[in-house]
Amino acid sequence: MARWPRYRLRTWAREHFPRPLAYLFPPGSKDCGRHEWFRNDEHTDICWHCTVGEREHVPAKIDPTSELWHALNQAARAGSSDAQKIVDRVVAEDEEARRTTRV
């Protein structure tokens, strides 16, 4: 049976448990081996899964297969204004990525 990539269970717990419990599952301190990025501030991206992953910000295209993307859209459609704000940011990122990269 294939193992989950390192720290994915922790990431899941952080995203699904209520706040006080989620704090028990901080990102891992070793390289997760497969970083997944989110924008930390104007200039840097950091990894969802580990504290090792950090890079200069690169605008990211939307991954239509991402479970996180689907969950955010569901929450936004259900009326979450926080989720809608994130969806709007991700869409803006996607447009920036399409303008700045040629693939």
Q: How far is the CB of 49 from Zn ion (least distance, A)?
A: 4
Cβ–Cβ < 8 Å for 93, 39? yes
* Using rule CB under 5 A, residue 47 touches Zn ion: yes
Cα distances (angstroms) measured from residue 8 to each of 4, 5, 32: 7, 6, 9
Which part of the chain contacts Zn ion (CB under 5 A), choosing from 32-40, 57-65, 67-75, 79-87? 32-40
The nearer residue to Zn ion, 34 or 89, going by C-beta atoms, is: 34
How far is residue 102 CA from its own chain's centroid?
Answer: 23
The nearer residue to Zn ion, 22 or 75, going by C-beta atoms, is: 22
* Using rule CB under 5 A, residue 35 touches Zn ion: yes
